[in-house]
Amino acid sequence: MPALLPKAFETPNWNFSPYEDDHRQLLPALHVAVLRSWYERFGAELYYARSSCLELLVAHPPSDRHTAARVAIEQYAYAADDIQDLEQAGDGQVRSPVWSFWWD
């Protein structure tokens, strides 16, 4: 989990600094909350992390349209740099066994 290894990642998204002006930064506790929620609901587990990206293996991706749409919005809120089209995300990545996120 990225929050447990704060110095392992170079992007400001992992290392929240109150002195940075980037409004997209997340506190480590927020990463933990999002990833824990996805793990509990969908069996999503972190399998790859690098300075500006993160990938999850998802045991039980959402299959119904309502849940997929809701999770697409969650993913957009989590990593807006990566999700450009919510409808495409809801039909594609959200229903996939691999979720990828990228930040500038």
Higher pLDDT among residues 15 and 101, named by residue: 101
The answer to whether residue 1 scores a pLDDT higher than 90 is no
Residue range 15-27: mean pLDDT, rounded? 56
Q: What is the pLDDT of residues 32-77, one digit of tens each?
A: 899 999 999 999 999 988 777 889 999 999 988 889 888 888 988 8
Kindly tell me if the per-residue pLDDT of 31 is higher than 60.
yes
- 26: Cβ–Cβ under 8 A, 6 or more apart, which residues? 13, 16, 78
Predicted TM-score (pTM) of this structure: 0.76
- Give the residue, 101 or 4, on which the prediction is more confident: 101
Q: For position 23, what pLDDT does the model report?
A: 53
